[in-house]
Amino acid sequence: MKSKFTLNHSSSSSNVQIKSDRNKNFSRKFKLSTKGTGFIFVVGGVMSGIGKGTTTASIGKILQSRGFKVTAVKIDPYINVDAGTMNPIEHGEVFVTDDGDETDQDIGNYERFLDQDITTDNYMTTGRVYETVIHKERNLDYGGKCVEVVPHIPEEVIRRIEKVARRGYDFVLIEVGGTVGEYQNILFLEAARMMKIKHPGDVLFVLVSYLPIPAKIGEMKTKPTQYAARTLNSAGIQPDFIICRSEKPLDKPRKQKISIFCNIQPEDVISAPDADSIYEIPVNFEKDKIGERILNKFGLKCGKKDLKDYKKLNQTVKRVKRQVTIGIIGKYFATGKFVLSDAYISVIEAVKHACWGHKRKPEILWLNSEEYEQDKKKLNELKKLDGIIIPGGFGSRGVKGKILVIQYARKNNVPYLGLCYGMQLATVEFARNVCGMRGAHTTEIESDTKYPVIHVMPDQEKKLLARDYGGTMRLGAWPCVLKKGTKSSKAYGQRKIEERHRHRYELNNKYRERLEKKGLNIAGTSPDGKLVEIIELPKHKFFVGVQFHPEFKSRPLRPHPLFREFVKAAIS
Ligand code: GLN
């Protein structure tokens, strides 16, 4: 399985040299080809939700730590063109990229682990792929051919992956959503299989599987993994690695068993026990030498591994004892009788990054705002919180409760960070209870409110009337100018910032003066001054509402400035 680019690098003595050699080659010779890129497909077996995304991101981090240029692509098998139209309870968080795509939460993992802004090219869904193929067919791009599911759909998938590779990456990881054996990801597996024929020696397959330890039996079982490997085989794919997710580390006899039954070397069966923090995963994988083994399979010389940054972070996570309690008040939690925190994953990660940065242990409580509407006495439970966050949201459910929580935070000097809807509702609360605008509201909830302090932007209104919902919000990175002397400008340490948006409503300029007069500080606006992006209460310990989503830009080793200052206020 020697790669064609082996010769270029076999004489390289250090990882730094490997990287620069490769980059030179890209710009000189391979600009329009994918030559020199290794493709690693990550697919899931047995069940969903076992960490395919973090596995993909972790392998990326490992290769990056050895000096390679890496990126990751997510394939979602849904018909939805993007994740923007999906309920977070169905699909978890909608992650927004700088270039305004509404993507899967795994893109967030890639950004956090690879410390890289991922673009729309790195995300595809079944809907998106079909949309392109149909569009091309209508444009006669297939030159009169019969356009068929196979090969045209997998070919479009491959075209998209190769497009990413051409940006000059040494490795592109491709995570295939869903689980092997599902009807809906078959065409993506077909694309992966075809990719290996097209790029011999440059494609590897990683199967992420789950090994249950049934309580009554007490033994780790390998059979579901064996079936998963067989199912993958029947799609024409032999895994090169099997990542064994389980509660506990994998032992030798089970490694052997999986090796024999799944037809791979025991050294390529990687133990992936549950971890305290997701940032332990790359370090755990390296205990089984996955980096070295991947590079060997590509015929590449190994750069020196360097995960010092993550090791240090993990030590902090393990060592810190003093706690800080942050409440996230939302509504996208419940699925039947189970609690799901996926809908707010970037907010949760951003809180963790900030807490670890302050050497504190984060205790994050998910509180359902609807409960305060039913029983105001329940608000008493907020007393145990050091800080309160109201994250993004849509629609009327739980809004009354959120406004009560904001009032509590404002009156009791409890640090408050409002994210998008959390900023809009803080404006509503302030208008009602400080400015005396009784019944003030956002027109999202009450279209004929007497005081529409939050209202829909005119271009957005047109889209709503036309029922043109998909991908039409104010999306992606927008510049914002900060007012001198505010908490925000101190936090960022600069005057001009860029943050990611996803909303249709805005603070209504008609009420700006009235709100400001009563003490609401407009701490940030769009460069033309027309859109309010940040509100603050200067006399409060920390009361900041932002029209954007700073959580998307927080990184484990670089907490977001606003989250950092919010947590600082919560512990002081
Ligand atoms: N529902 C609000 C809007 O559309 C807020 C959206 C959000 O919180 N992301 O403007």
User: For residue range 38-83, what is the model confidence (pLDDT) as tens digits?
Assistant: 999 999 998 888 899 999 999 999 999 999 999 999 999 999 999 8
73 CB within 6 A, ligand 1: no
| 549 labelled catalytic | yes
Ligand 1 atom with least separation from CA of 395: 1
pLDDT value at 405 more than 50: yes
Between helix 345-357 and helix 308-319 the angle, nearest 10°, is: 80
505 CB within 6 A, ligand 1: yes
Please tell me the distance between residue 192's alpha carbon and the centre of ligand 1 in angstroms. 37
Pocket test for ligand 1, best of 332, 444, 500 (most atoms within 8 A of CB): 444
Please tell me the distance between residue 90's alpha carbon and the centre of ligand 1 in angstroms. 18
For the chain, the average pLDDT equals: 90
If DSSP codes are grouped into helix, strand and coil, which group holds residue 244?
strand
Residue 564, phi-psi category: left (phi > 0), alpha (psi -120 to 50), beta (remainder): alpha
Ligand 1 atom with least separation from CA of 394: 1
| Whole-number pLDDT of residue 20 | 35
504 CB within 6 A, ligand 1: yes
| 441 labelled catalytic | no
Query: Looking at 150-223, which runs of residues are DSSP E strands?
Result: 171-179, 203-210
548 CB within 6 A, ligand 1: no
| Whole-number pLDDT of residue 390 | 97
| 540 labelled catalytic | no
As a whole-number percent, the residues of the chain with pLDDT over 90 amount to 81
pLDDT value at 3 more than 80: no
> Which of the four pLDDT bands, split at 50, 70 and 90, describes residue 147?
very high
Please tell me the distance between residue 391's alpha carbon and the centre of ligand 1 in angstroms. 10
> Half-sphere exposure of residue 524, counting CA atoms within 13 Å on the CB side?
29
Pocket test for ligand 1, best of 329, 396, 421, 461 (most atoms within 8 A of CB): 421
Please tell me the distance between residue 94's alpha carbon and the centre of ligand 1 in angstroms. 12
Residue of 18, 43, 57 lying closest to 210 (CA atoms)? 43
In angstroms, the CA 560 to CA 316 distance is 18
Please tell me the distance between residue 287's alpha carbon and the centre of ligand 1 in angstroms. 43
393 CB within 6 A, ligand 1: yes
Stated pTM of the model: 0.91
Active-site residue identified among 280, 286, 551, 565:
551
Active-site residue identified among 152, 353, 549, 560:
549
Under 8 Å between Cβ of 389 and 348: no
Q: For residue range 217-242, what is the model confidence (pLDDT) as tens digits?
A: 999 999 999 999 999 999 999 999 99
75 CB within 6 A, ligand 1: no
Count of residues in the chain: 572
152 CB within 6 A, ligand 1: no
Please tell me the distance between residue 525's alpha carbon and the centre of ligand 1 in angstroms. 17
| Whole-number pLDDT of residue 334 | 63
SS3 per residue for 385-450 = CCEEEECCCCCCCCHHHHHHHHHHHHHCCCCEEEECHHHHHHHHHHHHHCCCCCCCEECCCCCCCC
| Whole-number pLDDT of residue 9 | 31
Tell which wins on pLDDT, 21 or 98.
Answer: 98
Candidate from 8-17, 149-158, 199-208, 417-426 with smallest mean pLDDT: 8-17
9 CB within 6 A, ligand 1: no
506 CB within 6 A, ligand 1: no
Active-site residue identified among 244, 262, 420, 480:
420
Residue of 403, 434, 432, 433 lying closest to 418 (CA atoms)? 403
Q: For residue range 335-355, what is the model confidence (pLDDT) as tens digits?
A: 565 666 678 899 999 999 999
| Whole-number pLDDT of residue 272 | 94
492 CB within 6 A, ligand 1: no
| Whole-number pLDDT of residue 472 | 85
Kind and range of the H or E run holding 374? helix 370-374
Ligand 1 atom with least separation from CA of 454: 10
Tokens encoding 318? 């393990």
Please tell me the distance between residue 505's alpha carbon and the centre of ligand 1 in angstroms. 6
Residue of 444, 307, 282, 343 lying closest to 91 (CA atoms)? 343
In angstroms, the CA 22 to CA 562 distance is 38
Please tell me the distance between residue 340's alpha carbon and the centre of ligand 1 in angstroms. 21
In angstroms, the CA 349 to CA 381 distance is 23
**How many other C-beta atoms can be found within 10 angstroms of the C-beta atom of residue 402?**
26
444 CB within 6 A, ligand 1: yes
